[in-house]
Amino acid sequence: MASTKSNGTVAGTWKLMMEDGQPIKSPITVKYTKLFINGEFVDSVSGKTFETFDPRTEEVITSVSEATTEDVDLAVKAARAAFDHGPWPRMSGQERGRILNKYADLIQEHCEQLATLETWDGGKPLDIVKHFDMQEALGILRYYTGYADKIHGLTLKMNGPYQGYTLQEPIGVCGQIIPWNFPLIMFFLKISPALACGCTVVIKPAELTPLTALYCAHLSIEAGIPPGVINVLPGFGETAGAAISSHMDIDKIAFTGSTKVGRLIMEAIAKSNLKDVTLELGGKSPLIVMDDFDIDQAVEIANFGAFINMGQVCLASSRVFVQESIYDEFVRKLAERAKKQVIGDPFKGGVQHGPQINKAQFDKILKYIQYGKIDGANLLLGGHSFDGKGFYIEPTIFIDVEDNMRIAQDEIFGPVVSILKFKTIEEVIERGNKTIYGLAAGVLTKNINIANRVARSLRAGTVWINCYLVSAPDWALGGYKMSGIGRESGSYGLQNYLQVKSVITPLHESPWI
């Protein structure tokens, strides 16, 4: 057993839960570690591989084939042939929907294996993966499956003796790059609308968490999805990701990740074929707690919004603004609640807080905790890692935070929350908007007028009222400012993978006949 202590106004002590003092061994064998191109698992052209690690133990799980530029070319050729000459975009929407439904059934049948791989590869608690990530991923796939036979255009009322209509056609070959924090959800958030529309995809999972995407690729063939429709290329951003972004034969890019990488992708697109792009990027989301709201409920919402998935959430409520009359009580209760987080091996039942994804992210979070201290914030709780193996960091709370501090401006992507005090609605709206990001926000109040005013005033793609991080397949996910371009999920996500074509025909009596 390992334990640690934190300094600050409130002392925090956690115990790292292990089985017999050792991490629980994974019960699954990794079967799929090669690139998936044109319906087959193949070695990379270069023969290169890279290792994927268990963040609980820092030990190697397995070696995975590494895609580079040559592999991207092969995958794009396969996707191009499947789109230009294959059956997928030409079959009826009803038939595509039938195949995608079978795919969803297979994903559900293999839920246990996929959840185990997700936990092993990413460190996320298994209970959470089973009850949230798997269900969310399946919900997204089934949602878009239902759209497959409902994509159609409009009849146009033309001036003069003409008739017109629009066609909604699949955009083509789609390059998709997904992050490591929600691998299964992001895999299906990207491929599901594209497949429903009749597109083909070349998708790069994050090099830190490639295993579930490869497992899902295997199931796609069993479901009857034709070869070349889905191609999965594990690899690194600077090689495989860059090659996908700049490829002249890819028609669409969809990326979820950091704002820094989003800029690089935009540059690559501008220098290539000006392909269509959707970007879901970083966030530094405010959660505003008004003094009329139930404080215990507010504490639960804030704790969930800040520390879910070990804080590795772009939508996380990492800035909590609390009205001054309840600030002290809120701070005390949030610290008490955060101390109850069950930290430990994510395979152990009841664990809520596992390790960070890798050493680089672990070090970055600890660096920002030091920044908070240097800049003058007060470390109330946490701020430490655990002794021994694994990238475990305590839930961390800073108080007396100023808006210009680095911990209040930069996306830390870890279990670090800043608590800020405010007086008036006007003040908190201005301060809530004072970042380069605009991905999400929340407001907790019993006053509907305040709720509506704040929701309309915050420049964010999603605003939750009296809740936080509530999601569904039909919401619109995306951000303002440097949090991205476009929207994913729901019917908005469907439009990302369609082109609209107008067709106009003269009637018989037209002078053109």
What's the DSSP call for residue 22? B
Q: Give the pair of three-digit tokens for residue 399.
A: 């108080």
Tokens 């960070």: give the residue. Answer: 356
CA–CA gap between residue 37 and residue 54 (Å, rounded): 26
CA distances from 249 to 149, 267, 269 (A): 27, 17, 12
The neighbouring-strand residues paired with 417 are 397
Q: Exactly one of 280, 394, 411, 488 is catalytic; which is it?
A: 280
Asked about 329 being catalytic, the answer comes back as no
CA contacts within 13 A on the Cβ side of 114: 29
CB proximity list for 54: less than 8 A, separation 6 or greater: 23, 26, 60, 61, 120, 121, 123
> What is the 3-state secondary structure of 126-159?
HHHHHHHHHHHHHHHHHHHHCCCCCCCCCEECCC
CA–CA gap between residue 21 and residue 88 (Å, rounded): 52
The neighbouring-strand residues paired with 162 are 506
Greatest extent of the chain over all pairs of C-alpha atoms, in Å = 87
CA distances from 479 to 179, 279, 315, 443, 487 (A): 17, 9, 10, 17, 8
CA–CA gap between residue 350 and residue 368 (Å, rounded): 29
Asked about 112 being catalytic, the answer comes back as no
Tokens 């570690």: give the residue. Answer: 33
Q: Exactly one of 314, 394, 411, 488 is catalytic; which is it?
A: 314
Residue burial 397-418, b: 16+ Cβ < 10 Å; e: rest: bbbebeeebebbebbbbbbbbb
Residues annotated as catalytic are 280, 314
